[in-house]
Amino acid sequence: MASVLKRSSLKLGMIPADGIGKEVLPAAQRVLEALGSAIPKVTFVPLLAGWEEFNARGKALPEETIRVLKEECDGAMFGSVSSPSHKVAGYSSPIVALRKHLDLYANVRPVSSVPGMPGPKVDMVIVRENTECLYIKKEEIHDAPGGGKVAYATRQITSYASERIGRMAFEIALRRAEERKGATEGIWAGKEGKVTIVHKSNVLSVTDGLFRESVRSVYDAEQRFKAVKVEEQLVDSMVYRMFREPEIFDVAVAPNLYGDIISDGAAALVGSLGLVPSINAGDNFVMGEPVHGSAPDIEGKNIANPIASIRSASLLLQSLGFPEAATKINAAVDAVLLEGKYRTPDIGGKSTTTEVTDAILKLL
């Protein structure tokens, strides 16, 4: 994960992109501004990207956005993107491109239920490899010998990418175990860390086999990781057990596609995609990103849930070396959810984006 440095000031790139990203990212910014002296002075830099940007100027990810992030910013926040479901000449997803340009090789997605609220008890982190698998987007289509069409997609799994995502998963498991030492409450209170390797190597023995073996090689090579328990789940079994007994999972590590699917599925356990945050992390840069999409059906209605974006800002602060400020944000969010007075429609309420944000700000 990005190097943790104590900074006297922060410069954060803000990329709302499309749809409700333009509503939830300002909410996260308001929360960051409300922290006052709990964090250094923050300068917010508005940057362009997205489907709307592509339609307006022909490029979904302007070179200037990449340059400013690389040369001027300490971190960033991304809103959401409205990538079309069909092929459009010249277009490619800006969030996928940003991950490659900034070498944000891990997508880290904590999924946690709020203590005291009804529903499944969940406290897990899904660590998704962010740079390869089927998401390298090497696809081609040909005429089939017997008529019709045949399409091919190249899936890339390397030992290099698999080892470094495995290492991050073990580091996160160690840190989580250390943080809960002496705790008396919570699903994992006082327990050792655990990493679940997610794969389908019983069928894809070459690609998933390499992923599995590479992650295990990291565990075998470093003695300190022996404090973490390791287990494996075939991806279909992972989905089944995650819905049946989510409390058994601590940290799960998966190739890009599987990680994408199981993390969105895990969001259903805690009520909504609108509650689940993530960070795209590399060794030198971190970008917060709510897990939800651009939700064009509710764009402009001021009813999008800002909590995923606000929690993503909290994760960003934690990664930049400000855990106390991150804890303050999370405590305020949990208190608002537990009280139940202010909830957006995705979790059964009637509140607006602004009302939920204001409620969180009052507790800060």
- The pLDDT tens digits of the residues spanning 8-40 come to 899 999 999 999 999 999 999 999 999 999 999
Q: What is the mean pLDDT of residues 101-122?
A: 92
- Find the distance separating the first CA and the last CA of the chain, reported in whole Å: 27
- The pLDDT tens digits of the residues spanning 122-149 come to 999 999 999 999 999 899 999 999 899 9
Query: One fold for both 1-104+282-364 and 110-275?
Result: yes
Third-level CATH fold of 110-275: Isopropylmalate Dehydrogenase (3.40.718)
Write out the two tokens for 185. 């409450």
Q: Which residue has the higher pLDDT, 183 or 23?
A: 23
Confidence category of residue 117, pLDDT binned at 50, 70, 90: confident
Confidence category of residue 42, pLDDT binned at 50, 70, 90: very high
**By the 8 A CB rule, do 274 and 347 touch?**
yes
Give pLDDT, residue 74: 97
Give pLDDT, residue 14: 98
From 195, 131, 135, 208, select the one nearest 166 (Cα to Cα). 195
Q: Is 170 exposed, middle or buried (CB count within 10 Å of its CB: 0-12, 13-18, 19+)?
A: buried
Task: State yes or no: pLDDT of 118 exceeds 70.
Answer: yes
The Cα–Cα gap between 136 and 330 comes to 34
Give pLDDT, residue 7: 67
The structural domains of the chain, with segments of one domain joined by +, span 1-104+282-364, 110-275
- The pLDDT tens digits of the residues spanning 259-298 come to 999 999 999 999 899 999 999 999 999 999 999 999 999 9
Give pLDDT, residue 221: 96
Domain at 1-104+282-364, CATH from 3.65.10.10, 3.40.718.10, 3.40.1160.10, 2.40.170.20? 3.40.718.10
Among 4-13, 70-79, 168-177, 275-284, the range scoring the smallest mean pLDDT is 4-13
The Cα–Cα gap between 304 and 140 comes to 37
Amino acid at residue number 47:
L
- Three-state SS across 141-154? EEECCCCCEEEEEC
- The pLDDT tens digits of the residues spanning 185-234 come to 888 888 999 999 999 999 999 999 999 999 999 999 999 999 999 999 99
Sheet hosting strand 286-288, strand order edge to edge: 41-46, 9-17, 75-80, 286-288, 279-281, 106-112, 123-129, 251-254, 193-199, 228-234
Q: Is 264 exposed, middle or buried (CB count within 10 Å of its CB: 0-12, 13-18, 19+)?
A: middle
Give pLDDT, residue 166: 98
Give pLDDT, residue 5: 53
Confidence category of residue 314, pLDDT binned at 50, 70, 90: very high
Inter-axis angle of helices 21-34 and 307-319, to 10 degrees? 50
Which segments of the chain does DSSP mark as H helices, in order? 21-34, 51-57, 63-72, 94-101, 159-179, 207-221, 235-244, 256-267, 307-319, 323-339, 353-363
Q: What is the mean pLDDT of residues 94-107?
A: 94
Q: What is the mean pLDDT of residues 77-90?
A: 91
Q: How many CA atoms lie within 13 A of 173 on its CB side?
A: 29
Q: How far is CA 156 from the centre of its chain?
A: 21
- The pLDDT tens digits of the residues spanning 226-264 come to 999 999 999 999 999 999 999 999 999 999 999 999 999
Secondary structure class of 1 (helix, strand, coil)? coil
